[in-house]
Amino acid sequence: MSEITLIVPDIGDFDDVEIIEVLVSEGDSVAVEDSLVTLETDKATMDIPASDAGTITSMLVKVGDRVNKGDAIAKIAASDSATPEATNEDQASSTTDEIQEVAEKPKPADAVPPKPVPTVPRPSPTASIDEISFSKAHASPSVRKFARELGVDLGQVTGSGRKGRITQEDVKGFVKQAMCSGGAGGLQVAPMPEVDFSAFGKVETQPLSKINKLTGQFLHRNWVNIPHVTQFDEANITELEKFRKSMVPEYNEQGIKLTLLAFLMKAVVSAMKKFPRFNSSLDITGENLILKHYFHIGIAVDTPDGLVVPVVRDVDRKSLIDIAAELGEISVKAREKKLKPTDMQGGCMSISSLGGIGGTAFTPIVNAPEVAILGVSRSVIKPVWNGEDFEPQMMLPLSLSYDHRVIDGADGARFTSYLASVLSDTRRLLL
Ligand code: CAO
């Protein structure tokens, strides 16, 4: 058995290309063409395949390293079927043709039938693969291949890698979740019956918008997978509204609409700092909490095509006025369909404000992988007992939904009580 060094082949005109994923480790057996590492250039990601088969004896690279043609990736003890006579030069002269670029063309659904995987019980992770969203998903060729083998629609998988890239672990986690929710002990629900509505009167069929379809899948997944609890509360915003309204004309002149939402975002961040579990996510195994030290807030925006949730970053470091200005910009961008996918990623907690529309309370669905969402309804003037009299006070209804796997009921109530106290006296934001 001979030792062979696996190297980076000819990767075209790229220099110093970063390794974003290492797909094998010491002791793994690899076959010829198995992917070893994933590289990312400005334009695409590419997998580097093994030129020989064998068992990896040492890995010579790690995530973050930058490599060029001819650099060593790993050493293997070549197996019998290997071709020991192949030299490094032979490997280096293999062309980029061998490397699958990420910009995979959509294929007809029957061109690449997902292989049945006996270990995954019915129902399969997805009923069918949406080829368009699959092709647009941000994932390396090896992850695409892996997803196809399991019949996973990458369009439905949330990426945990850099810039939202989907990793092999994300695909495994998706399958695991599908198994838990669909397998023995999981949800066993009868399918919806098909109804001929025209039998009861005149009807018309309207196709759902792309946003409606994507949001629908996402909300359904979150609703089914997350044990939701909604905590209701009220905040006395009489003083806050007096102050805000006194400032409105000054900022209107600068084209900035100083709405309640900017104050709410600041107050939510203050509460997240006090209760850090609200600024966390469960990892893909469901066994660890990832606590975040940044404060990005998603805002649900109602558009003619459906709901989108752009994210305002670093709310803790921005002034109320900067936040109000940014809110104005993202609302316009959302309604003009100018938001980029990255504008909607990285949120820590979301706010859904229906205050401009109406209602007294509602139960928003957690925007996973976040663990909580604050719903806000229309504020009303109510008589509030001050110990001696009833006083008219402006009360804001709060509806906080949270993931009960991460947040206890007591903490849910503490969070809204604290939030209400901050909103009733915004000087607390300075503390
Ligand atoms: N109580 C009473 N009035 C309120 C209010 C509240 N809680 N919140 C806002 N308002 C008022 C505003 O002051 C404004 O009044 P004027 O026009 O007289 O100034 C009016 O309602 C409209 O506000 P707005 O909608 O322009 O601004 P906003 O900052 O409150 O909200 C945005 C911005 C983008 C969140 C909102 O336009 C929107 O799209 N909301 C819908 C979100 C949604 O669909 N959520 C459902 C998701 S399902 O979970």
**pLDDT tens digit string along 221-241?**
999 999 999 999 999 999 999
pLDDT at 149: 83
Reported residue count of the chain is 431
Q: Which of 233, 343, 353, 394 to mutate to test the pocket of ligand 1 (most atoms within 8 A of CB)?
A: 353
pLDDT at 103: 37
> pLDDT-based confidence at 12, cuts 50/70/90?
confident
Give the torsion through C-alpha atoms of 54, 55, 59, 62, to 10 deg: 80
pLDDT at 112 over 80: no
pLDDT at 162: 74
Tokens 């719903």 map to which residue? 375
DSSP state of 214: H
How many A from CA of 409 to the centre of ligand 1? 28
Position with higher pLDDT, 14 vs 415: 415
Is the C-beta atom of 366 inside 6 A of ligand 1? no
Is the C-beta atom of 364 inside 6 A of ligand 1? yes
| Cβ 306 vs Cβ 338: under 8 Å | no
- Ligand 1, atom nearest to 379 Cα: 1
pLDDT at 288 over 80: yes
d(C-alpha 143, C-alpha 150), whole Å: 11
| Cβ 137 vs Cβ 166: under 8 Å | yes
pLDDT at 319 over 60: yes
Q: Rounded mean pLDDT of 313-334?
A: 96
Q: Is residue 138 annotated as a catalytic residue, yes or no?
A: no
**Could you tell me the two tokens for 400?**
């906080």
pLDDT at 294: 98
| pLDDT > 90 fraction of the chain, expressed in percent and rounded | 57
Is the C-beta atom of 270 inside 6 A of ligand 1? no
How many A from CA of 242 to the centre of ligand 1? 18
* DSSP SS3 for 357: coil
pLDDT at 40: 82
Least confident of 1-5, 201-205, 209-213, 320-324: 1-5
Nearest-CA residue for ligand 1 atom 46 is: 352
Q: Rounded mean pLDDT of 20-47?
A: 84
d(C-alpha 263, C-alpha 270), whole Å: 11
Instruction: Report the DSSP pairing between strands 54-59 and 29-30.
Output: antiparallel
pLDDT at 119: 29
Query: What domains, with CATH codes, occur in the chain?
Result: 2-104 (2.40.50.100), 108-186 (4.10.320.10), 228-430 (3.30.559.10)
Tell me how far the alpha carbon of residue 344 is from its chain's centroid.
8
pLDDT at 411 over 90: yes
d(C-alpha 302, C-alpha 334), whole Å: 8
Nearest-CA residue for ligand 1 atom 8 is: 355
Contacts of residue 358, defined as CB under 8 A and 6 or more positions apart, other chains included, come to: 377, 378
Q: Rounded mean pLDDT of 257-282?
A: 97
pLDDT at 122 over 60: no
How many A from CA of 396 to the centre of ligand 1? 13
Is the C-beta atom of 353 inside 6 A of ligand 1? yes
pLDDT at 187: 66
Q: Rounded mean pLDDT of 88-108?
A: 36
